Amino acid sequence: MCKRYALQNPHRAFDCCRSALRTALFFGCKFLDSGETRFDFGQTLFGGVLCHAGAGGHFLHGVEFVTADEVEAVEDFVYAGADNGVKLFAGAGHCGKGVTGKACEVVEKAGSVSHDEVPAVLRRVMSGASLGSLSGADYTGRMIIVTGGAGFIGSCLHAALRRRGLRTVVVDRLRDGVKWRNLASHAPDRIITPDALEGFLASEPDVEAVFHMGAISATTARDGDLVWSSNVDLSQTLWRWCAARGVRMIYASSAATYGAADRPEMFRDGLENIDGLRPLNLYGWSKQAFDLWVKREIEAGAPVPPQWAGLKFFNVYGPNEYHKGSMISVVKVKYDEVVQGHAAKLFRSDVPGLADGQQKRDFIWVGDVVNIMLWLFDHPDVSGLFNCGTGVARSYLDLAHAVCDAAKRARDVEFVDMPEKLRGQYQSFTCADMSRLRAAGYDAPFTSLEDGIGQYVREYLSQPHPNL
């Protein structure tokens, strides 16, 4: 669509749209100009509607073009946009009707695209992307910010965003370690350090969404001032910036906010259920503090991002976690033990009546976590605080056996005493209530523990280059 042409010359704008679409080889487009000349390349697949200069148009599935002289009130239509005004075309999920009386097909997706952004769409189509998989942000040159984008979950998300052909800015510190390998196969457009983020935001970058994954995530963290600054202050700054500029924000909360919860009904998400939570450690408390701050902002009627979603990550495992030290997943730790010929070591239970190895967690494959975030990105009308788990609690003994099986080793498990620093801070049961996300429309299945561990071992841990 051509958002850079003034209303005073609507025919010029439509000519621009026609030229852009023909150049980009969008097969199936029909264009009806003022002389009823038809550019018919076959079955209609794509079409577009002009919006006023500076606002962008709509890129739709299964519609036709018409020109200004077919619209009785051109300025009303152009200024109103595609979703209202004279109702030339309806929004996503509705059937539009042209002023000539000809009905259009029901629209499945709508997004903003301008003339100079058409080449980016063409690259996505020519790369083999499914037409149905394209979202509005796929048609634009706007940036996606991923804080913590060189970390575990952040880098896996970043890889998926780059596969979509999106422009990305990673906010992270690579330092002199191995985190750069998490981005080796999918370099971002730009990497900035957290210290430089404030200046970058002040430059008014054109941002579509912020995925805020960055945090001090160690459950054994002790520096309260540093944790608050990183996990709360920075999150508040990003929230306010997104709210002021109409940028969507998806951020990482944590299942650590549930503290000593030990029954399924105690793991309900949503802002209305968080006041009574009592996290067991500093990390969980900092995540709870930000969730509570978000709740207060919303209740006070303060500005909020057009879409916001907090995700309470449960026990995530998968590639690109290798830099996490003591916070690496139990799956990776057990794999290293068994391939070195040792027994898989598990903590003895410190809960009366709970057998050793029967501590249970909701373990979720990182690919499922990424799928949830991409689904939220593709559904900008969905906001809220959501659990991000599978809804199934599995025992550590199940996990150890699955690792042994995937590594093709005998099932050999040894129980050891829990370290003193973890006693009283160890969650012996977690299980995400996923009903809220399901009710919002997310219907993809979750990967089983055995299948996820099998994929992790087979495609990553057993390979010379185990990064995504």
Active site residues: 283, 324
Give the type of residue at 35.
G
**How many Cα atoms occupy the beta-carbon half-sphere of 169 within 13 Å?**
20
**Which residue in this structure is represented by tokens 């992270």?**
172
Structural tokens at position 293: 């701050």
Taken in order 153, 159, 161, 167, the sign of the CA dihedral is positive
Show Cβ contacts of residue 143 under 8 Å, excluding neighbours closer than 6 positions.
167, 168, 169, 189, 205, 206, 207, 208
> Can you tell me the distance from the alpha carbon of 329 to that of 323, in angstroms, rounded to the nearest whole number?
11
